Structure 1
């Protein structure tokens, strides 16, 4: 199934096409990332996670739609959602996009937990995919010097590692927690060496 076929609304193909064009870029935050987040949302739903598939699907489409490696990327993506989506979806999708700044949804935020888990699921990827993800993130921050990138990346990973669990849904914890922890440990060790 093509990405275009995974658009969660029955209409607004114009918006879908704008989003596909926005995601069509080099680095980690590309069309593959969008596809993998949608795949992980499908898997979480198949494993029994209950969330609004349309709302969370739209949030996945918007969550990195604006990406320049800047501090306001998520905010700009959320604002795009607020302006472009029908009122029935705009506020909640924008809220979910903003949640991805820190990936710390409230325990009772079912939609936020699902989106956060699907987005962070890359942390549990097999080694070759994980290494490609890290290389893609580095490409996204090509404008940052190596020492500053290593320090920033180590800070982000160390912050994630302090969470009692990287994932919020029981389905994601069962599927991804152990391999994600192993990948984080390995990468942190490499960054600190």
Structure 2
């Protein structure tokens, strides 16, 4: 299995390379080839344009490659890896931190619009589309989401696995974790420093409040819980210090 640093390195490369060039990460090509026929002909161009939007730093192709790489490494945990891959491709396809009028935009709004964009380009059958819809919607409230319907045997486990993949970046090495925070700060460059620090602190503390349930699957918990909690505690402490210094 690749280290977290290796995964992030390949993700960074993918972010810098235009899709269609020889440099694009093969993990994207591999997983998209499995599901391309269940989308319309414009789907990938829409995704590519979205994940290369200039206001993104963390929520770009790098995040998608990171999740797909870990899905590939841990594919034995998935009943329908193809549907999880589709959810990965689309779950951040709409990502705005504020409206054109400057009003802050919430994560649930982005998730809702990401689902709508997926459905606009989907050619999956009804069951598969409903399953992908519910997996993406689960990111609107990571810690409290659960499967409301078992679309296929093992669906709830796949939903939990997807959510764990989405949070697996919490377990990277500390320098990468710090860079991820800086990238998110770039996405919220318009927010006053104190407001940003407060919002990030609340988010980190909510993850810490999840305890052992931060990661849902025992296999992913064994891999990622300890380093994630260490990063979260360190980051929360650092942000509290920054708020005190800038007050």
1:95-134 mapped onto 2 (5 Å cutoff)? 95-104=134-143, 105-106=145-146, 109-134=156-181
Shift of 1:4: 3.3
Residues 1:188 and 2:236 are matched in the alignment: yes
- What is the root-mean-square deviation in Å for CA atoms of aligned residues? 1.7
Tell me the distance in 1 between the aligned counterparts of 2:90 and 2:228: 24
2:114 is aligned to: 77
2:185 is aligned to: 138
Tell me the distance in 2 between the aligned counterparts of 1:29 and 1:17: 17
Does the 8 Å contact 1:114/1:168 carry over to 2?
Answer: yes
2:31 is aligned to: 6
2:196 is aligned to: 149
* TM-score, length basis structure 2: 0.73
Deviation per residue, 1:25-55 (Å, 9 max, x gap): 331101101100111222222xx41331111
2:94 is aligned to: 66
1:32 is aligned to: 62
Structure 2 portions without partners, runs of 5+: 1-25, 98-104, 148-154, 242-247
Tell me the distance in 2 between the aligned counterparts of 1:19 and 1:78: 13
Structure having greater relative contact order (Cα 8 Å, sep ≥ 6):
1
**DSSP-derived class of the 1:64 partner:** coil
Tell me the distance in 1 between the aligned counterparts of 2:27 and 2:211: 36
Does the 8 Å contact 2:172/2:228 carry over to 1?
Answer: yes
Further displaced range: 58-67 or 36-45: 36-45
Shift of 1:82: 2.1
Tell me the distance in 1 between the aligned counterparts of 2:85 and 2:131: 12
Residues 1:23 and 2:62 are matched in the alignment: no
Tell me the distance in 1 between the aligned counterparts of 2:73 and 2:164: 11
Structure 1 portions without partners, runs of 5+: none
* Count of equivalent residues: 191
Residues 1:175 and 2:215 are matched in the alignment: no
Shift of 1:134: 0.7
Tell me the distance in 2 between the aligned counterparts of 1:5 and 1:17: 16
Does the 8 Å contact 1:83/1:90 carry over to 2?
Answer: no
2:133 is aligned to: 94
Does the 8 Å contact 1:82/1:91 carry over to 2?
Answer: no
* TM-score, length basis structure 1: 0.92
Larger Rg: 2
1:53 is aligned to: 81
